[in-house]
Every structure is written in structure tokens, then in C-alpha cells.
Chain A
Amino acid sequence: MKFKIITKYVSCIAIAAMSASCGSSGDSDTLTNNDTSSVISTEETEKAEKVFSSIPSPIETTTLLQQAGAKYNANYLNPIDNVSKYSSITAKALNLGVYGSDLSFTSIFSQTQESMLYLRCTNTLATSLGISGAFDETTTSRIEANLENKDSLLAIISDSYWNSDTYLRENGQAGVSALIVAGGWIEGLYIATQIANSTKNEVIIKRIGEQKLSLDNLITLLHSYKKDNTGITDISNRLDELKTIYDGIFVAPPETTVSTDTAKSVTTVGNNSPIKLTPEQLKQITNKVAQIRNNVIH
């Protein structure tokens, strides 16, 4: 087992080295008018600037899965060997999100060796996208120094997400950041559906239903950057198909309640419109997200 992990580790480093050695020329080939970084118009950027939508990060999503009683299973993750397949900016960005989600999953379940493997893969793709200050050697060193401290690990991964998002926004590539977010969300939902179907865990099934809200936000985010961009348009169209299934889930307009325990200074908010999935809807979502994810990782 140990040898297998070391082999994977070396494999990923080798892939990283190969990517580094031939990265720049390959990247320039993919910087077409249809790719993400060069096509976000000023008008779209300005419109998107003041009103934002956000979706739960992979850290939060995988934390919820663990709290719901999920167990670690490496078979749910994108194999690290796939990292060499991604040549376009769109594929790299989506799979940086996918591997970032997998890294969150391995870290939350304290799979330290696997975490290092997935960190190398995120490092490879982030470097290839020209993102500095995130998932880089400094991050690797910090993670290596905190392998046994899960809280620190999660904080470092959160920092990396934020650093990559900041870097891309500062450099006029917010669309690439949106693709990373999309990849992470798709992988998180894929993992959740795999666990739900093998365990029938009611809490996880409920969490899958609740992704209806985040999916709407994600599609809004992608639509902000989809003009003249085949990469974003393609994933956005696929997610629209998933949204059609989610649209079949009835959710009553929420009536939010707020109560405050003044003695403890704690405010609690809730509403009366729980989201429930039927077995058929779960099956449809499972199949559709598997199809979308399969298209992303291959």
C-alpha cells in the first residue's frame, strides 16, 4: 500500500515536472478568442462587480459530508494520473476545482498521504494556469508542516482558494475563477451522490437537495462570464440540464424566523420550507452529475 502511494506521489511529481517543462507553449495554443481569460468584456465585469453570488466552498461542502457521517473512499476521487490530460485553460480550471475539492475531502478525512498527492495535482494545474501564491511550494511547505493538524490544514486550503481567486480577479481572469468554483462544486456534488447511493444516508440526501439553491447561484455566476466563451458556455449548458431536474423539486417561499437568546447572545434563524428529494429525483441528479463530471475529468 505504502509503495502504491509513493508510486502515485512520484507519478504526480513527474507529471508536474513534465507540465512545467512544456507548459508555456501548450498554454499559448489554448489562448484563443474562445477561451476564458481574454473574453470578459468591461461591461460584463462592471455589471458583475457590485452584485455577487457565492456558493459554499469545497471545504464547507466536504465538512458537511463528514458531519453527516460519510466515510472516506478514494474511489470517489478523480485519479491523479488524469492531471496530464488537461491542456486547455477551461479543462485546467475546471479540474483545478475538482482536485481542490478532492484535496478538501482527503484533508477532512485526515488522509495525509493522499492529501499530498492531490496537493501536487492542484499545484500542477495552478502553476500551468499561471496562478501564483496559491497551491504553490509555500502552500506545500505549510501543509507538510501541519499534516497532523486538520484545522490548520483546512485554513491553509481556504487561504489557497482565496489566493487563487484574488490573483485571477486582479489579473482580469474572473471567468477562470468561476470555472474553478464550478469544478469544485460539481466534484462535491458527485462525491455526495456516490456516498448517498451507497449508504442511503438521509442527511446527505437532504444536503444534495439543498444544492438546488447553490446551483442557481453558480449558474448566475457562470452566466456573468459566458458571453463569447465556449468553455463557460459549455459547462453552463450542462449545468442548466441539471437545473431542469432540480427545478422539479418544489420549495415553498420561505418564511424566515429569527429568535435571539439574549442570555447567551445567540441568534438562530430558520424557515418553514425544507427541501426534500424523491428517490427518483436523487437517481436523476446522480446520473446527470456523474455525466457532467465524467465530461469534465476526461
Chain B
Amino acid sequence: MKNYLVTAIITISSMAFFSTAAIAQCNSSTFIKKKCIPKIQPFTQSGQIITNKLSSEQKTELKLTFSSGQDYRILICSEELLGDVSFRVRDVMGKIIFDSKDHDYPDFWDFKVISTQQFIVDVSVPPSDSPSSIPPTGCVSIIIGFKKSL
């Protein structure tokens, strides 16, 4: 009985440790600095990076303002195990402005803004092809870069 108790404590402690490590890893600067930030150039990253831990078929969304006279890059940075993560951009009236599924799943979209407005960026993780009953879970970051329109 005592052995079972010790084993259970070790198992639960290990799960807690790995769970915390996975969450910490998702937000860690290593993932974003190495995998994501370089892709924002030649734009200046705005300083607001949203990172979330998502599983198969999960979604996240970000609402933000884009200013006139600027060029923007919306960059979606995700871990490979999640597959073809897609994103779409819609205005506040629901009109789809861009859908990455229509463009062979690029991880960024560049555009010019001639009048200041808000868009909502929806990011979706596809269903998993894995035979495992545990869906893959990984980090997804939305990064915004800007520069003056030429």
C-alpha cells in the first residue's frame, strides 16, 4: 500500500512537472525568438505577441486595430506537429478579407491599409491525422509587424 502511495505521488508530481514545463515552453522566448521573430522582418514587430497552446480543432482569435498609411504583416507561427494551421482575417462586420486556405496555407499575409480599421484574426488548428487518442497540442503565436507604406 505504501509503495502504491509513493508511486502515485511520484506519478502525479511528474505529470504536474511536465504539464508546467509544457505550458512554460509554449510561452518561452526560445520558441518565439528562434522560430517566429526572424520571419517578421523586414517589418518591425509591434511588441504585442499573442501565444496560446492549442490542440487539434481548437481556435483562437485576436481583434486589433490597423492604422492607415502603414503596411502590415500578420504572421502565424505554430509548431509543426499541429499540421497546416490556417488563419483568416475578417472585418468587424464579418466580411472575410483573407483566408490562408485559399492560398495554400502561407504562414503570413502582408497588406497595405489606407483607412484605419479593426480586423479579427481567427486561427484554427486542423483535425489530427494521428492514430493516437491524445490529440497533439502545441504553441501558436500571432505576431504583428508594421512599417510605413512606401
Contacts and interface: CB of A to CB of B under 8 A. Distances in A.
Given A166-B27, A268-B114, A253 B93 contact: yes
B88 interface: no
B29 A133 contact: yes
A50 B112 CA distance: 27
A213 B118 contact: yes
B6 interface: no
Given A52-B62, A54-B63, A267 B44 contact: no
Contacts of A55: 48, 64-65
Contact of A54 (B44, B45, B50): B50
Interface in B48-85: 48-52, 58-70
Interface in B90-114: 91-93, 95, 97-98, 109-114
Contacts of B92: 254
A54 B144 contact: yes
Contact of B44 (A64, A151, A253, A273): A151
Contact of B60 (A52, A64, A213): A52
Nearest to A267: B111
Interface stretch (A83-91, A119-127, A153-161, A222-230): A153-161
B45 A155 contact: yes
A55 B98 CA distance: 21
Nearest to A59: B47
Chain A's interface size range is 35 or more
A214 B119 CA distance: 12
A56 B112 contact: no
Interface in B2-61: 23-24, 27-29, 32, 44-52, 58-61
B147 to A, nearest CB: 9
Contacts, number: 143
A213 to B, nearest CB: 5
Interface of B: prevailing SS: strand
Nearest to B146: A60
Contacts of B97: 256, 258, 269
A217 interface: yes
Interface string A146-173: 0000010011011101110110011000
A131 B47 CA distance: 16
A198 interface: no
B118 to A, nearest CB: 5
A60 B52 contact: no
B115 interface: yes
A274 interface: yes
A59 B116 contact: no
A60 B67 contact: yes
A154 B42 CA distance: 13
A34 interface: no
Interface in B105-150: 109-118, 142, 144, 146, 148
A49 B47 contact: no
Given A56-B46, A166-B29, A217 B93 contact: no
Interface of A: 49-60, 63-64, 67, 133, 151, 154-155, 157-159, 161-163, 165-166, 169-170, 181, 207, 210, 213-214, 217, 220, 253-256, 258, 266-275
Q: Lowest 8 A-B CB distances belong to which pairs?
A: A161-B47, A57-B47, A270-B114, A54-B64, A158-B47, A210-B116, A256-B91, A268-B112
Given A133-B29, A159-B47, A220-B63, 11 more contacts: A50-B52, A50-B59, A53-B64, A59-B44, A162-B45, A213-B116, A217-B65, A217-B118, A258-B97, A268-B114, A273-B117
